Amino acid sequence: MLLILFLLQVYILQAGRPHRDVVEKFMRQRKGVDPRPAYLGVQIRRFQRWSLLLLCLVSVLCVRISTLQAQEENLRDWEITCLEHFTEIVEIQKLRQMLSSGANEMMKRYDNGNLTKKELDSTLHVWYITESRLWKKVTEIYDIAYAEKCFKDKI
């Protein structure tokens, strides 16, 4: 896009430039006449060229700025999406850790004789089912986050 814009600007500058024979013909016609109009014509032409050049530079800067803004918006979207994934992963991992601590506590109570084998088995069965479901869910979130390149540095 920038290359096309640059080539278009070069073409406009070249097309706007008078050919040498046109300038010489103009100067031959003006010999012996007041040179002030010719001088003013040259100054106006120079002003037009600089204005065109300035316009070209401004248009290139506008294209560059809009490209940077689009990249910044994409980065913001990526950051929001990845932050959501990271937050969900942390919450699930905290829940898994809490449930694991609870299961360990139940085993200690069984070892101390405060819990029967049947109560321990039913508690560990519920813990195992819950742990398996949470492990599967967090693994899916990790897979999505890896697919969206959340674990690579964007900055």
Q: Does residue 98 surpass a pLDDT of 90?
A: yes
User: Does residue 110 contact residue 120 with C-beta atoms inside 8 Å?
Assistant: yes
Range with the poorest average pLDDT among 1-5, 41-45, 90-94, 139-143: 1-5
Distant-in-sequence, close-in-space partners of 103: CB < 8 Å, separation ≥ 6 = 123, 124, 127
Question: Per the structure, how many domains does the chain have?
Answer: 1
Against a cut of 0.85, is the pTM above it?
no
Residue that wins the pLDDT comparison between 79 and 62: 79
Q: Which of 15-19, 53-57, 82-86, 130-134 has the highest mean pLDDT?
A: 130-134
Q: Within a domain: residue 155?
A: no
Where does the pLDDT of residue 10 fall: very low under 50, low under 70, confident under 90, or very high at 90 and above?
low
Residue 153 resides in a domain: no
Q: Residues 86-108: what's their mean pLDDT?
A: 93
Domain of 118? 2-147
Q: What pLDDT was estimated at residue 107?
A: 92
In a domain? residue 129? yes
pLDDT over 70, % of the chain = 65
For residue 63, is it within any domain?
Answer: yes
| Total Cβ atoms within 10 A of residue 87 | 10
Averaged confidence pLDDT in the chain = 79
Q: Cα–Cα distances in Å, from 65 out to 60, 61, 74, 75?
A: 9, 6, 14, 15
Percent of the residues in the chain that have a pLDDT greater than 90, as a whole number: 37
| Residue 38 pLDDT | 64
Query: Which of 7-21, 26-40, 129-143: highest mean pLDDT?
Result: 129-143
Any idea what DSSP says for residue 17? S
Q: Left, alpha or beta for 34 (phi > 0: left; psi -120 to 50: alpha)?
A: beta
In a domain, 152, yes or no: no
pLDDT of residue 124: 92
Residue at 154 is within a domain: no
Considering the domain boundaries, does residue 68 fall inside one?
yes
